[in-house]
A and B are shown apart, each in its own frame.
Chain A
Amino acid sequence: MSAPLKPLPAWADVALIPLINVAAAFVISGLVVLAIGENPLEAVKILVAGALGDLEGIGFTLYYATSFIFTGLAVAICFHAGLFNIGVEGQAYVAGLGAALAALYLGFLPGYSLVFVAIIAGALFGAAFAAIPGYLQAKRDAHIVITTIMFNYVASALMGYLLVDVLRAPGQMNAETPGFSKYGIVPQFHVLLKPLGIIWPDTPFNLSFLLALACAFGCWLLIWRTRLGYAIRAVGANPTAAIYGGISPARVTIVTTLLSGALAGGMAANVILGEEHRLILEYTAGFGFVGIAVALMGRAHPVGIVLAAILFGMLYQGGAELAFDKPKISRDMIVVIQGLVVLFAGALEHVFRRPVAALLARRTSQPPI
């Protein structure tokens, strides 16, 4: 049994170690790039240029970031309650169903209220789908990790069936729903800004971004400034003390998963209502899992999540450009980076503590503790 960890100064704890963890992920990714015979620094240049070099790149970056903010928040809110929600992928998928059904069948609603209702419907469907594993954990002690993994596949099967056999537009070859009316879509920025004389390139970047930011702020308020948030954090930090304080961990678990699923539904607003304008197969494309990396990297704090989401947005957009320029560095590279971030920010987060503590102790010439 080795010596106990030396305490680190607060700034090292909050900023330095997380930065080192993320840096480690990128350094190893760079080594992978080297191993396949490409220049990592050149790759970074292309990536950054592709993501931020022009308005079109920025638009795509922020569009992806919007989805990541929603999925990141969804995972993070569960983290605060001590729950690991791996099912955001499936919850976002089912949320898409809610949004699509509303957009397609509630057309009798006046004007643009339709899209608002569709967004809410998406959130409701996502919430309901997430609450099932939540309830099973709270009341039946079924491990939420395994159940949410299972439910991802159930969602896939369910939605596959619905899209192929039930909701498909007649005569349509692809497994997708008919397109939505103009009242059932979230307007894209370039469309909104044209009448004002501002010309932006055609990108999927849409108003859901503002909704995402609002949700991030809302989450911050909820978690740190409301009684529910207090209860959530208490259960996540110390369930025994929470019970002592009159809080019910079961109730908190269910409410948290409901909120988490609702946040996952935001991705439906961004992608289904904001860009595709129809429900398509597997639209979530792994973004639910990116949410895990974003939440870990952002240390479950909305500010960190927004920043991490933008970083991953850059990776996805820049990564597409990079794959185009350097076919050897395919878009799978981003998944590797994502996984390494989860590894270092999530699993191996303490591996650098001892060397850093030793380094700091030496530099301030204090005797080792």
Chain B
Amino acid sequence: MNPQAPAASAIELIGIDKSFGPVHANANVNLEVERGVIHGIVGENGAGKSTLMSILYGFYEADSGEIRVNGKPVRIRSSREAIDCGIGMVHQHFMLVQPLSVLDNVMLGAEGGALLAKGAAAMRKRLAQLGKEYGLEVDPDAVVGELSVGLQQRVEILKALVRGAEILVLDEPTAVLTPAEADQLFEMLRVLKRQNKTIIFITHKLREIMSLTDRVSVMRRGEMVATYETAETSPPELADAMVGRKVILKIDKSPAHPGKVVLEARNLVVSDDRGVVRVHDVSFALREGEILGVAGVAGNGQSELLEALAGIRPPASGEILVDGRLLRSSEHDPRAVRRLGVGHVPEDRQRVGLIMSFEACESAMLGFHDQPAFGRGILFDRRAIVADAARIMEAFDVRPRAPLLRTANFSGGNQQKIVLAREIDHDPRIMLVGQPTRGVDIGAIEFIHKRIVAERDAGKAILLVSVELDEIFALSDRIIVLCGGRVTGERRPEETNPQDLGLLMAGVSERAA
């Protein structure tokens, strides 16, 4: 080997292409990561970052393209092969066994022999050594389930290091960390870098990119758009590359005439199923006749916020007021909230908003099945149910017009129209709308957007949560941005642009430095 040749890059991805059915997740992606460098990969949801890393870690195999590790072409078909190449991954959702100890978790797959005793002693020494070397100290006998999230992440990193990972991939590692824990993580990563480890860091938060990485690559809609030296770029430039010069879907929208406040959130704090706080002290007011858009990258608390407002997930603290009246704790219930005139188009229509195995007319009743219109006595009035479904399917152009067809057999766009039709048909005064056009074709998108604006013109108050910036811009009269569960900014659409919002979404706000 020519001693003058530059050291081979740690990772080279050449022409990586991967599709899942119609979704082209990675389109001819090229990436070169040098050794001993912290390389960030940034992009919005659906940009393809996670898919790319999954290919690197052996979860998926690319449809075409080549992977080279330290200059050598390799085939990575499983996690085992990735590990053998020296690639270690720290997943967004930890791959830890909660009831087992730190030592057990780290040993899993690297036990060093059929009997644990010998390997355990060696591993303890190694853990102590690594702990001192990288500042990754953890009590090996602590039960993982009882550790803080930050410490659990440390165990994930240790797992990778213990297997001799020279290249560490971290996928959105700060999603569940407090700012203090995040800073600790960054320190650890810097130490690792000094030891000539290579680090690939996936995030959508520009603050982290700027403070941590040496180099940053931007992905957008499955393509690798640009790579910069971090020192030579800036958040606005990165945000620009992330969101691109998009054509903002313009629809004819008359100016809003907002009336009185009908929905108010005050200091809402909402936790997820694991008890992690996802919404930190969010307040806003929603008026009749306006659309309030909530922008933000997925996973920043929007889902939990919607669930709290819809009564599905009672808030840990804070207040919700409908028409100026405080909701009692007994009213944090989907049925009660619906009775107060709040409609809810959930973010996940297949998992939450519809029942796939039901006929369309039955899905069209979900949440309203006890209404007298569907049957006065004990029995349903089947004819009324079917006729009603046919009516709303006609009004919302759901195809095929088949109320008896199983919900699962409709396309995504038509399924969404069924949900929308159902919620709108019962004339709510307030509507909570989550990702209304996710997985929906262009024709249906336009229809849905028009209907939402029509409802607003009819005096409804609409809260629109969307990860699609063009949708936010097209529909909103007012925009607030959520990042990390906090409101990082509020704007009027005419006073801002995607890049500005991109910065807010990426955590660079007037308030958070």
Interface residues of A (CB under 8 A from B): 221, 225-227, 230-231, 233-234, 237-238, 240-246
Contact = CB atoms under 8 A, between A and B. Distances in A.
B357 A240 contact: no
B204 interface: no
21 contacts: A225-B379, A225-B380, A226-B378, A226-B379, A227-B370, A230-B365, A233-B358, A234-B366, A238-B351, A238-B356, A240-B351, A241-B351, A241-B353, A243-B334, A244-B310, A244-B312, A244-B344, A244-B352, A244-B353, A246-B335, A246-B367
A233 B382 CA distance: 16
Contacts of B357: 237
Contacts, number: 57
Interface in B365-414: 365-367, 369-370, 375, 378-380, 382
A369 to B, nearest CB: 11
> Could you tell me the dominant secondary structure of chain A's interface residues?
helix
A240 B312 CA distance: 10
Q: Which of A230, A240, A242 has the most CB of B within 10 A?
A: A230
- A-B residue pairs, 9 tightest by C-beta: A246-B335, A245-B367, A245-B366, A246-B334, A244-B352, A225-B379, A237-B355, A238-B355, A225-B380
Interface of B: 310, 312, 333-335, 338, 344, 346, 351-358, 362, 365-367, 369-370, 375, 378-380, 382
A245 B379 contact: no
Contacts of B338: 246
B366 A244 contact: yes
B355 A234 contact: yes
A241 B352 contact: yes
Contact of A241 (B310, B355, B369, B375): B355
A166 B322 CA distance: 61
A227 B353 contact: no
Nearest to A244: B352
B366 A241 contact: yes
A226 B352 CA distance: 22
A225 B356 CA distance: 19
A233 B407 CA distance: 14
B333 A246 contact: yes
Nearest to B334: A246
A245 B382 CA distance: 19
Contacts of A245: 334, 366-367, 369
A230 B382 CA distance: 12
Contacts of B344: 244
Nearest to B338: A246
A110 to B, nearest CB: 29
A234 B362 CA distance: 10
A221 B370 CA distance: 16
A14 to B, nearest CB: 12
B54 to A, nearest CB: 14
Nearest to B381: A225
Contacts of B370: 227
Contacts of A230: 362, 365, 369, 380
A240 B334 contact: no
A245 to B, nearest CB: 4
Contacts of A243: 312, 334
A244 B366 CA distance: 8
A221 B377 CA distance: 13
Contacts of A227: 369-370, 375, 380
B172 to A, nearest CB: 24
A241 B367 CA distance: 9
Contacts of B354: 241
Given A241-B354, A241-B366, A245-B367, 15 more contacts: A225-B382, A226-B380, A227-B370, A227-B380, A230-B380, A237-B355, A238-B351, A238-B355, A238-B356, A242-B355, A243-B312, A243-B334, A244-B310, A244-B346, A246-B338
Contacts of B362: 230
Contacts of A226: 378-380
